[in-house]
Each structure stands twice: as structure tokens, then as C-alpha cells.
Chain A
Amino acid sequence: MTAGYAGKILRLNLTKRSISVIDTEEYEEWGGGHGMGSAIFWDLCKDKTIDGFDPRNSITIMSSPLSGTLVPGVSGRSEVQGIGIQQYPIGWFTRSNFGGRFSGMLKAAGWDGIVIEGAADTPVWVNIINDKVSFEDARNLWGLDTWETQQEIWKAVTGNAGLGEWLRIGDAQTTQRPAVLCIGPAGENLSRSASLIHDAGNGAGQGGFGGVWGSKNLKAVSVQGTGGIKIADPKALMDARLWLEQYFSYQKGEQAVPSGCEGCIKLCTFRSQKYGNGSSCADAFWYSGEMGNTEVSLDDTQKSTDLAQKYGVNICDIMAYVQKLTFGGYLLTLYEMGILGPGKTIDSAPLPWDKLGTLEFSEALLKAIAYREGIGNDLAEGPARAAKKWGRLEEDLASGILALPQWGMLWHWSLPGVEWPFGSILGDRDIAEHDFEFHKVDAEKKEHDFESLLVDEDTNEHELTRNRPTGVAIYPDQTPEQLVELLAGKTIPYTGDPFMFSYAWQGTNGSNMAEALKTGIYSRHKAKMVAWHRHYTRFWKQSILYCDWMFSNFTSAIKPDHSGFTPEAEPRFLNAVAGQNLSFADGMEIGRKVWNLDRAIWILQGRHRDMEKPAAFLFKPGIAVDNPLPVYINGKWSVDVSLVDVFLDESGVETFKTNFYEFEGWDTSTGWPSRGTLEDLGLQGVADELESAGKLGSSGTYNGE
């Protein structure tokens, strides 16, 4: 067995309440995480066209060889996959990902992943203690929130052992609490906006897997492990860890009390005397700032976010309802238009609009969704289906008051960085991959910051403190040419093409269309860049599980040449742990294979070129967020801050799609991979299945070599 892996994958059949074991070796070629999950789903879920609520839906929760190791930004993450119920109009085969310590504990228990199939006839939770796996009665847990559920399970597994006391498990002993992944009331009530929650706020929200678990009568999976993980080269791992810390030295000695996932150095969450420790960053954004006539207090923001974690509601969905700063605020907008409210066309009971901006309103909204009360019954279906039921979907997607760029999922960083909407529409979900989110660094600041709520340990005052950066920084001492050359040098295997990073667009009056098609956002160069991003994330971030909030890392404030640790770090850690001497390019090729396998599943679900159209509001001005981007116009590179005007052009997007399909070796009329493309990747069986479904692309050759 290769180092880094536990060697076994646990297969649970909830219908029969039985278990079986898959040998991890059968799937090692996929790396781990998403790749393994897709391959297992392909093999086990015979009919890919089933609905996400169908008991035959196979859900995988996968770790990677790096889970539970000293590799920062990976160790604690888990990948969840299966047919989703959130996306619109089709619940695509999709993914979500959560942090914490679940995957590390899973490996310590001897498992690389879990496959969940079937549905139990009454509520169950699964108790994994090393190689002992049992189905437990969850009727007493049904109705509890996610925090109560986990603490009840802790009690059941660890008895009354105090914090820090050794707990005997067989011959071994541990001071650790079991790692539990569970659903709250929203999942129990089959909401499409329901998440899986681990610890206080590590959530897998996108895809609606909480509702899928609810439909399977699965309340929780608890893992307690006391084993070890073999490491191919321990010295190399320790050296690599200390090497990477050099890139992150500036938080040392700060006064606040950050906390983080297992093995990480980025520490995106915090310890608090008042609040849950998982409600940080964008989570808390859903109910903060100005709301109607009220400024939401920090206290109400944190409490509202904790409530969302407890009810197990997907915050990415509810962000669409009353937070206007994210191109959301849909319910609030309809309320202000006089369409939604007490006694209006859309009755909004039980929402207390006079209390908007307070905890009373947020609690009423969350409770309504989780328990399907009043308007909550519509909202439990997610924003797209709610709008559809109200007969408003087309109109509101066109105007943009319902800001769902693709697949019924909320606007994120969708423009001006086009790889975001393009990658999302070509895939299954809002990509939520911040690799190319550009930020300009002020001359006086060392690093671009995200601000995150942290607690001052001595005063217990809550204050905004620096979080560490993600995306690409643009430094004052760096020319635009240096920036794009840096990126072009790091994007193996497509190095040497700086036009991949030009965001030149057609312009407000369309006068720059020729450049946009030639070197800009609709060009073959951009198609290659989007392909790089799809392949990179599919392998390095979603299969090996490098966290989006830390990887990739193109730029560094600390290094004199501003060169970040991508593409050196990714294979360096993997090889120290697993010892397979895999290159960055090898990983990219596996990523391309995973991406094509996912593509095949979507095609069997009904995907066609004609469906891959962003929502109408993306083709109108006034939607992009204010981020600077490199552009190449009239033979000259610059960093343009005026791209806040960016919107898409319909024919330009179609040209981009053709360029992209051509690059990937997919049929340009359908968007379906050709037999040659799939067979080159070793996916003959996939090609056969597409062919028998009449959905194999008739032509296309991969153009990346």
C-alpha cells in the first residue's frame, strides 16, 4: 500500500444496515478526494440520471493521502460528492468540501473514505470506532440541532471523560473527541438548502447534501480513530512544513485568538468567549452590515451565523435573501418593491420585516426555512425554485435582482474574473475557487488583507483582524508585464502564454471586441486558462484537498521576486507523504481525467452545449465587483481598475465555448468528449457508456500537448 493512505474505504448500505469494504488501491490512480469519489460514484451508481433524493444516490466523503498529516491547508479537509438537489434546473452530480478534523480522524480510524448508499427506514447515525462500525438508532437525535447532535454523540462515545483526560479505546488511548458530521432540522426536513456540519461551523453546504442525508434518514456519522498514517519521507515532510511557514510568518505574535483546521497554519476561524468558533469570514457576511434601515450589530451577526450552523442551513443560499452587498438581497428587494410582504402577492409570513437587521428577523427566517414554515416552505427549495414557484424566475434573472449566474447558485466573485462564471457554467456549481481573484496591494501595506472577526483574548472585545490572503496580489513594485510573466511561468503544463491572463473585454460599446476575441476573455488563450483552472482544482484542490483559502499561491509579499509557492509546494508535500515522485504536470493530467469523468456524468444527466448559458443579467452592465485585472490592449499590458463595468457578450461567450471545447477535445456542437479524448485518458469504459447512451462526441482532440 502506498504511504499516506489508510488502505480501506468504508461502504455503508443504509437500506440493509450493512457494511462492506473497498480496497483503496483500486482507486489510487485518482489521487484521493474528488477523483476517487467520482470514480467510485461512476462504478457504484449505475443509473446516473436518478434524482438526488433517490435512495440509489451514492454519496462519498473522501480524504486524501495528506489528510491528518502536517501539511497545512489540506490536513483537515474532506470532499463530499453525489447527485445534488440544490442546483437548478438539474441537480447535477456535484461536490462540496469542508474543513475541521473529520478526514484526519477518519484516516486514524483506518478509512480513506465513506460511501453512503440506500436509505434507512428509521433515523440512524453511524458510529465508527476504528474498524468497528455500527448503525445506531437516531430517533432520539432527530429534531436536535447540529451542535446538540454532536455533543450527544460525544457523550455516547466518550462517556463522561473530561477535556484532556485519556480515553481508552481498545488497547489504545486518546484525548480527542470523536469527529462528527451531521445534519440539523433543515436536512431532516429535506431542504435543498441544507448543509452537513462538522464541529461548530465546518460546513458542506453546496449541493444540498444535508437534504440528501435527510432523505436517507441519516442524522450523523461519527468517527473515532487511534491509528497512524505511514509517511514515505518524514524528514522531507517536516522540512517542507517549515519551508512553507516562511510564506506565512506575519501572523506570529498577534494578540487575537485565531484557530483553525487540523494541521493548518492559516487559521481562518477564532476562539470566542461568546460565539461558535466556525462562523467566520464569508459565513458571517450573510447577515451583516446595513440591512434595510438597520446596521446589524456584530453580536447579531455572529449569533445569526451560529444559528445557521445549528439549523444546518447552507449559508451560500441564504446569502441571496437579505444581504444586498453580494448582488443578493432578493427577498428584501421584492419586499421594497411591494411584491413580497404581509398580505402581498407573495405572502412573507412568518418573517417580521419590521425587525429586519435584528436577531429576531434572522432567527425567524432560518427557522422558517429549516422547518418549512410559511414562506420558508418555498425558500427551503432554494432561491431558484422559490422564484420559479412565484412565477418570477425568468424576469428576475434577467433584471439581476435574483443574482444566480448559473445553476440556481448565488453570485460570488462572478465578474470581472471570467474564469469564475465560465468555469461554473461548464461545470456543476459556483466554482468558489479564488485562485485568480486579483487584489492590488497598497504601497504602505505588506499584504492584501481579508478582514475577519477575531476575539481579543484579554479584553474579550470582538474586532476585525487580518486574515491571510488568497488569490493573486498585484504589488506596487511589479509591472503588469512582470505579473503576467510570473503567472505564465507557473501554470504548468501551459506555461509561456501570458495572454491567458488578459481580461480584455469588448468594452461598453463593443469597440474592443476584436481584442477580446483574439487575446482577451473569449480567446483561445482564455480557454486554455480556464482549462488549466479546471484541471488544477480538480486534482490539487479537490482530490489532494489543498484548501481554496490557501492554494494556489502565485504571489508572495515576503519573497523579493513576489513568487509564491505554486507550483513547488503541491507536489513537494504529496511526494514527502506518499513517495510516488509525482510531478505537478502529472497531477494536472489526473485533474484533466477527473474533469472529463465528471463531464461524462453530467452528459448522462442531460448536459449539452445549449444549456451552458450564464443567466441573462450577466450580459448587462452594472454587475461586476471592483477588482483590478491585467489587460492587454493595443499592444500594451496594464492593470485595469475600470473593469467594474465588465459584462458578457452573447456571441463572445459562444466563441469562448467553442474555443474551450476544441481545447479539451470535446465536440463543438454538443460539448461532449470524443472517444479519442476519453481513451487517451484511459477512460474507455466511459466512452463506451456515453456511446451506448448516444452521447459520445463525434469529433475532438485535446489540444494541450
Chain B
Amino acid sequence: MKFPRSEGYLVVDSKKCAGCLSCMLACALVHEGEENLVLSRIQISRNTFGLYPKDIKAGTCLQCAKPKCVDVCPTGACYVDEVHGNVRVIDESKCDGCQQCLEACPLVPKMIIWNHEKNVAMKCDLCLNAPYWSEQGGPEGKQACVEVCPVDAIKLVKKVPKGPKVVLDEFNLREGNAR
């Protein structure tokens, strides 16, 4: 199947990241209304004894051009939201918890987030549906993780960043690239 490209991409500079987990706390807060690192759709893991830059691994959904999560979903819960900038999203009410999307995700860490409390899969929607936030999200709006990051290590870009595959967590937001 062919899918229209997303009109927004969340990129993280893991070399700039402070490891404070604020993005994760903000993500869970605006989406779930609670603080929960496990339910965050952006994941920062840190080896506090590791040496820079391999001490932090950042994970964000890449809004893949060919989203396998959408491809494998048997219920249509995971789909491309053509009304809102082609963001790849999951409608939790349609998710039957089969976890095929989770298995299909090629990223490390897999960026389909398993909500073990509701038995549904979740993913980054660029804050399109962030019911616990006063701001509007999506490719034209704001993202909670971007807003709270104290070092501007997360950014929404409009085009697929150039570079090797699966390196959005190593996107350079230093120097001229910082907002």
C-alpha cells in the first residue's frame, strides 16, 4: 500500500538531551492525564554510568513513509490521519490489543507503546489528541515534549530529515539548527 507522507516529524538530538525525562513526563501527562514513564510515546533511556554520547538512547516515532504499524493493523485502529497532516495515529477505541503493530515496528526501542492498563497500543500523534492540554497539537500545532524540553533537544520538522535511516534521535539540533 502507498501512504501519503506525514507533514510533520519529531526529531531528537540525543547528543543534546539532558536526560531529565521531562518530555516523557509531559507526554504521558497531556495524553493520559497522569505521570507515567511507561505510557510515554517518546522514550529516553539513560545509562547513568555510560559515557557521552552513548549514555542516552532516545526513541521517537518516525512517522514512517511506509508505516508497518498501519499496514499490519487488522482493525483499522492504526491509520494515516489524512485530515490532520497524515500523522500515523491509533484510535484506541478500535484497537483489539493484538500487538501486531508492536511487533512490526522496526525501531529500537519499538515506538508502539503498549498500554498494559487498557490493553491497547498507543503511538506518538504529534499531540493531535492530547486531551489534558490547553494547546492544539498536530503538524501545525504544538507538541508537549518540544515545549517542555529545557535544552531544545526536540523539534518538529516539516520534511523528512536527510541522513541515514533511523537516525531521528541523532538529529543535530545544535548550533544553527537550534530554534
Interface residues in chain A, defined as those with a beta carbon under 8 Å from any beta carbon in chain B: 68-70, 72, 75, 100-101, 104, 108, 147, 150-151, 162-166, 170-177, 199-200, 226-231, 234-235, 237-239, 241-242, 245, 248, 251-255, 257-267, 271-274, 276-278, 455, 457-458
Contact = CB atoms under 8 A, between A and B. Distances in A.
Interface stretch (B1-9, B50-58, B69-77, B86-94): B50-58
B25 A271 contact: no
Contacts of A150: 49
Interface string B85-122: 00000000000000000000000111000101100000
Contact of A242 (B35, B46, B148): B148
Contacts of A255: 174-175
B147 to A, nearest CB: 6
Given A166-B109, A200-B48, A70 B34 contact: no
A166 B22 CA distance: 19
A170 B114 CA distance: 12
Interface of B: 15-16, 18-22, 25-26, 28-30, 32-39, 43-59, 108-110, 114, 116-117, 132-134, 144, 147-148, 150-152, 174-175, 178-179
B29 A265 contact: no
B129 to A, nearest CB: 14
A271 B19 contact: yes
Contacts of B20: 259-265, 267
B37 A108 contact: yes
Given A265-B22, A267-B18, 17 more contacts: A150-B49, A175-B45, A200-B48, A228-B28, A230-B34, A234-B33, A234-B34, A235-B132, A235-B133, A238-B30, A238-B144, A238-B148, A252-B178, A259-B20, A260-B18, A262-B20, A264-B22
B150 A248 contact: yes
B52 A258 contact: no
Q: Which 9 residue pairs are nearest across A and B when measured between Cβ atoms?
A: A228-B36, A164-B57, A234-B132, A265-B150, A199-B48, A171-B116, A175-B45, A228-B34, A229-B35
Nearest to B33: A234
9 contacts: A173-B38, A175-B43, A252-B150, A260-B20, A263-B21, A263-B25, A271-B19, A272-B52, A273-B51
Contacts of A226: 38, 116
A64 B163 CA distance: 44
A342 B57 CA distance: 50
Given A163-B47, A165-B109, A231 B35 contact: yes
Contacts of B178: 252-253
B11 to A, nearest CB: 16
A234 B52 contact: no
Given A255-B174, A272-B51, A176 B37 contact: yes
Query: Which of A174, A263, A457: most chain B Cβ within 10 A?
Result: A263
B55 A271 contact: yes
Given A164-B59, A171-B116, A228-B35, A251 B151 contact: yes
Given A239-B134, A259-B18, A70 B48 contact: no
A172 B47 contact: no
Query: Which of B30, B55, B133, B134: most chain A Cβ within 10 A?
Result: B55
A114 B55 CA distance: 29
Contact of B46 (A177, A245, A266): A177
B152 A257 contact: no
A237 B29 contact: yes
Given A164-B43, A239-B134, A264-B22, A69 B57 contact: no
Contact of A177 (B15, B45, B53, B175): B45
A191 B45 CA distance: 34
A166 B18 contact: no
A70 B22 contact: yes
B52 A271 contact: yes
Contacts of A278: 48
Nearest to B26: A70
A68 B37 CA distance: 9
Contact of B109 (A147, A164, A260, A263): A164
A200 B55 CA distance: 12
A172 B51 CA distance: 29
B150 A251 contact: yes
Contacts of A252: 150-152, 178
Contacts of A264: 20, 22, 150
Contacts of B19: 259-260, 271
Contacts of B32: 228
B49 A200 contact: yes
A510 B114 CA distance: 71
Nearest to B21: A262
Contacts of B21: 101, 104, 262-263
Given A69-B35, A271-B55, A253 B26 contact: no
Contacts of B49: 147, 150-151, 199-200, 276
Contacts of B15: 257, 457
Contacts of A229: 34-36
Nearest to A70: B25
B59 A242 contact: no
Given A238-B134, A252-B151, A457 B18 contact: no
A150 B49 CA distance: 9
A253 B38 contact: no
Nearest to B48: A199
B159 to A, nearest CB: 22
A257 B153 CA distance: 11
B109 A175 contact: yes
Nearest to B18: A259
B132 to A, nearest CB: 4
Contacts of A70: 22, 25-26, 29, 35, 148
